[in-house]
Structure 1
């Protein structure tokens, strides 16, 4: 697979975010500050890297309708999650302390559609796309069945407790390992284009 660097860097950036998030909370509050900003920038970097990863997975699947749907959902989810993290960074810069962040977030969420698109359903599409691609790759025998299981575990762990993001990031890296050595091909049933 092309983009091997992205396959390694994206999970490592998620791991960095997860660890910095834990460090940021050691004093009992999260944000604003260096750990808050650096962690959020790391996750933004990871999100950016998922665009070529998803694009390549779609290509591996022969640009099928399901793979294209997963790509579109993934890119929309990335955009929504990136907006959330960008807002978090801006609020972190503008707020004098942690207590000042709450009212700023409430103002942002009060804008019609923002709460759903940026803090609700929108970012979920990113995780749905991760799982969809893993399942499609396994269904086309391009990866083993354990890969979508690892991706699902990564998503569930992070949803259950955000402090488990580092464990999820390691599972994500492990789920990408089979793709790193795989040459770029398309699914067996897909026509080959010159």
Structure 2
């Protein structure tokens, strides 16, 4: 029950970030809702497709769809107020990222994926929705051009895989992986860290 509640909080946070991006892009109410759904459920859907889980979990658990859609509509209606809560949304987003990445990695391992594939699937679970959001908005995905986001996700997934290889208890390992992700993400936001970028080519 607690895990489901945390998942719904993470979905709401991701949906809010997607809806805010859609509002800034001047999309209509349908577009805002679609971006909220895509951002919050896209990563998990990609995970399920990669792992052969059919139908994807997001399509059979109606609360996931309902929370994402309602969050999108709330942001559309009250976006000036939600925009002022940016720090809170970023905090919830960091926790959602930690939860989704570790859950995705654990799911991949449980279905027999090799360690390196589980890391990639876990990372994709966390960042896939945001990447799809940016593609729909005709932007280079944010995780590919700045901010410590995908790197934090991959680090947390690595912790889960190492713990699994050492036969450590699953719950503490997942908590440790989530803590690494959340810690790195919040530290990067606080310190304004970005991944290195290659220098511009002259001419």
* Greater C-alpha radius of gyration: 1
User: Same fold judged by TM-score > 0.5?
Assistant: no
Please give the range of the TM-score, normalised by the shorter of the 2 chains: 0.3 to 0.5
TM-score, normalized by length of structure 2? 0.32
